[in-house]
Amino acid sequence: MAELNVSLVSADREVWSGGASMVVARTTEGEIGLLPGHEPMLAILGAGEVRITLAGGGSVKANAEEGFLSVEHDTVTIVARHATLV
């Protein structure tokens, strides 16, 4: 099964990276869910929770704000001015 390669970074460090089966994040347009095979996109990140469902089960949650989210070829990059794991 395909998986997403996810990187969550803040202005000064990498917060988390790894494989995921799904990512849910808040954008300025509303909440978005990303699965493998998602069309390429670029969105402005809204303040809120990023939920990453791990490929092997389990999840990672982080608070993120002020940044952007990009998707291309099953790679999700979330760049935030502030991001912390919860």
> What are the pLDDT digits (tens) for 35-60?
999 999 999 999 999 999 998 899 99
Instruction: For 72, list phi and psi in degrees, rounded to 5.
Output: -160, 125
Inform me whether the pLDDT recorded for 1 exceeds 80.
no
> What's the mean pLDDT when you consider all of the chain?
96
How much is the pLDDT for 23?
98
Tokens of residue 52, six digits: 């990453």
Share of the chain above pLDDT 70, in %: 99
Give the pTM. Answer: 0.94
How much is the pLDDT for 60?
98
Domain ranges of the chain: 4-85
As to burial, measured by CB atoms within 10 angstroms (0-12 exposed, 13-18 middle, 19+ buried), residue 73 is: exposed
Contact 65, 45 (CB under 8 A): yes
Cα 51 to Cα 68: distance, rounded to the nearest angstrom: 15
Residues 4-85, CATH architecture: Sandwich (2.60)
